[in-house]
Amino acid sequence: MRAHAVGRGSILLDMDGLAPHTRTPDEGFLHDLDSLFTDAAGGQGDAAMLQRVLDASMRAVAGTRGFLALVDRETGDMEVGPISGPDWTDEKRLLRLSLAHEAKRGITGNVAVTGEPHLTGDAPSDPLYIPYFADVRSEIAVPIMGTSGHSWGVINIESERADAFGRGDLARLRVLAHAAATALRVQGFRSRESALVEIGNDLTTTFNTDDLMRRVVSVAADVLRFEDCSVFLIDEITRRLVLRASQGALAGEVGQADYAVGEGLTGWVAQTGEALRVCEPYRDARWRGRHTEFPDHEIAALLAVPIVSRGGILGVIRVLRRKGRRAWVSNDFSEAEQRVLSTIASQVGAAVENARSHQRLMQSERMAAWGELSARSAHMIGNRTFALKGDLNEGGYLVGQMPPGPLREEMGGLFRSMSRGVTRLEEILREFRDFVMATQLTRAQVDVRELLLETLEESWPKRSGVTLTTDIPEGLPAIACDAPKLKRAISELLENAVSFQPSGGSVTVAARRVAHDETQERRLPPGRDYVQIEVADSGPGVPAEAKERIFQPFYTSRAKGMGLGLSIVKGIVESHEGLIREAGTSGAGARFLLFLPASDR
């Protein structure tokens, strides 16, 4: 134990090796301890619990007056909480102890800043003492230490008697301060548990991803102290980390701010799947600082954790703390806070996966509804079309029997126009039927290279003026597929590529084997290999805002067609447990990627 002279009748003690008690603990003190630790461990971590700690401290050292003050981590000052003893006015109850100026800290503030207990038997002569009550002669104060090594608060007891306290009293208060720290930790645990339950309830009942992310940011603010919390999700199309929710200034950049996977500290977490906790992150070589709420040099600490689901990494939750005005208040993130944020992230991962599964289910149900509507419509319209075509043929024959002249010519033109209309109607009906039948498969093992070469031989318009390049190696794995339907899907992509380059251009058809990780597609089941088929062109490309819409029924940017072509392609690919996406750049050509499960693994 070390003791330092502070003034006549006072000593400043460190927390190591306190001397043996100068008085024997009585049964009342032991009973208080047992009761306090039992209640603290059982979740009694509120203001009433701290009042009980103070009352037990008063009894343990026979004090005249006492209070328990807690550090305000936002301002770095101290607020008087529970009180005991006479003469407490409203002014003294609302007392805030400034820790900014050493001369104004007083004994309580000095204990909070240094983390060392203080004892004086002649308070008026102690240079640290600030008089608030005229009858004080002795004062004893011990810190309530947090897990980070910084003080959470102070227990302060006064007496109207000189030399009223000894080393044994310090030992007793030290134990009681530990009980107070336990109560505060339990209070924090209960608050976090309640917030996590609240998040869990919200995430399991909400299927709107944006609403989920906003809720996460809101609840996380109640659990962790930070100046900025941002949620980035990996966009399923662009594969970039896009800001989906934020608190504060970054809220205006939701949907716009983004990182490449691997870029900066945020991108590093998404790339590695590892949590990151750093102080002064702008000094880290990986730092980019592209999207933060305040200047780099003001950032005290960063904590980022990956959002993970069964299919891989979905995104990152990142929180920042600003440098505080008080050096003795820690702004570092603790391991416990990292565990809390990781727990939130795991809940978010499950919720995002559920939301996306729900969206895919809704899409499937919509497609099924469209299919049923199409089937019924095609049947009804087909019957009428057949009858109408017969009537037109009969009418055309009758017109041909009319005497030559202007009326015959006019009637002939009218019937020819009506026949073209019926022919177009039959084409539409074929599209409807293809749409309905797209997901009804008859599978067999097929050589991918052979299937692609046959499709090109049958479908490629050789006089189109568009150059065709292929990269279809031998040795590709077989796939279990419905060959005619898969040929139809690829032919549709080829037709689109050529039609968007009427003045000539180029088309590339390529295929290769890829592992699941190489696809970077969380929507594909992991643990197997895939055949990637690519159809790319040098046309105008697909605008970013249309990349998902082009696969929806009846969406088209062309004058001809019903807009069912790519919907049919998507239905065929997904019915093979595969996936299709457009990965090109607007203005630089379209690039369709198909992923189909390999059969040999």
Quick: pLDDT tens for 563-583: 667 888 888 888 888 889 898
CATH code, domain carrying 503:
3.30.565.10
Q: What is the pLDDT of residue 359?
A: 64
Q: What is the pLDDT of residue 4?
A: 38
Q: How confident is the model at residue 592 (pLDDT cuts 50, 70, 90)?
A: very high
Q: What is the pLDDT of residue 6?
A: 38
Q: What is the pLDDT of residue 8?
A: 36
Q: What is the pLDDT of residue 3?
A: 39
Asked if pLDDT for residue 40 goes beyond 60, the answer is: no
At 52-91, the pLDDT tens digits run: 889 989 998 999 999 998 887 666 678 888 999 998 888 7
Same domain, 407 and 480: no
At 178-230, the pLDDT tens digits run: 888 877 776 666 666 565 556 666 555 566 667 777 777 776 666 666 667 88
Nearest-CA neighbor of 248 among 222, 230, 266, 231?
230
> DSSP assignment of 47-78, as one string?
HHHHHHHHHHHHHHHT-SEEEEEEE-TTTS-E
Beta-carbon contacts of residue 120 (< 8 Å; ≥ 6 apart):
6, 7, 9, 10, 11, 107, 126, 129, 138, 139, 140
What's the whole-number mean pLDDT along residues 231-243? 81
Same domain, 336 and 363: no
What's the whole-number mean pLDDT along residues 18-30? 48
Q: What is the pLDDT of residue 5?
A: 38
Share of the chain above pLDDT 70, in %: 73
Same domain, 39 and 85: yes
Query: By the 8 A CB rule, do 393 and 400 touch?
Result: no
Q: How confident is the model at residue 600 (pLDDT cuts 50, 70, 90)?
A: low
Q: How confident is the model at residue 18 (pLDDT cuts 50, 70, 90)?
A: very low
Same domain, 481 and 427: no
Same domain, 380 and 456: no
Same domain, 518 and 398: no
Q: How confident is the model at residue 546 (pLDDT cuts 50, 70, 90)?
A: confident
Q: What is the pLDDT of residue 46?
A: 63
Asked if pLDDT for residue 16 goes beyond 50, the answer is: no
Mean pLDDT across the chain: 79
Final residue of a structural domain among 414, 437, 460? 437
Same domain, 150 and 269: no
Q: What is the pLDDT of residue 362?
A: 66
Asked if pLDDT for residue 440 goes beyond 70, the answer is: no
HEC string of 531-597? EEEEEEECCCCCCHHHCCHHHCCCCCCCCCCCCCHHHHHHHHHHHCCCEEEECCCCCCCCEEEEEEE
CATH code, domain carrying 139:
3.30.450.40
At 497-538, the pLDDT tens digits run: 998 888 889 999 999 999 887 877 767 777 788 999 999 999
Question: Pick the residue with more confidence: 106 or 511?
Answer: 511
Same domain, 456 and 590: yes
Same domain, 461 and 568: yes
Same domain, 228 and 257: yes
Final residue of a structural domain among 437, 466, 488? 437
At 380-438, the pLDDT tens digits run: 776 777 777 777 788 888 888 888 888 888 888 887 888 877 776 776 666 666 666 66
Lowest average pLDDT, out of 36-40, 300-304, 333-337, goes to 36-40
Name the helix (H) or strand (E) containing 205. helix 167-205
Q: What is the pLDDT of residue 9?
A: 42
Q: How confident is the model at residue 552 (pLDDT cuts 50, 70, 90)?
A: confident
Query: By the 8 A CB rule, do 243 and 259 touch?
Result: no
At 335-369, the pLDDT tens digits run: 878 888 888 888 787 777 777 666 666 666 665 66
Instruction: Give the HSE-up count for residue 391: Cα atoms under 13 Å, Cβ half-sphere.
Output: 8
Domain count, the chain: 4
Q: What is the pLDDT of residue 565?
A: 78
Query: How far apart are alpha carbons 17 and 250 in whole angstroms?
Result: 50
Same domain, 73 and 93: yes
Share of the chain above pLDDT 90, in %: 23
Final residue of a structural domain among 185, 203, 218? 185
Per DSSP bridges, beta strands 505-515 and 466-471 are: parallel
Q: What is the pLDDT of residue 1?
A: 35
Query: How far apart are alpha carbons 461 and 446 in whole angstroms?
Result: 24
Q: What domain range includes position 414?
A: 359-437
Asked if pLDDT for residue 231 goes beyond 80, the answer is: yes
Same domain, 125 and 196: no
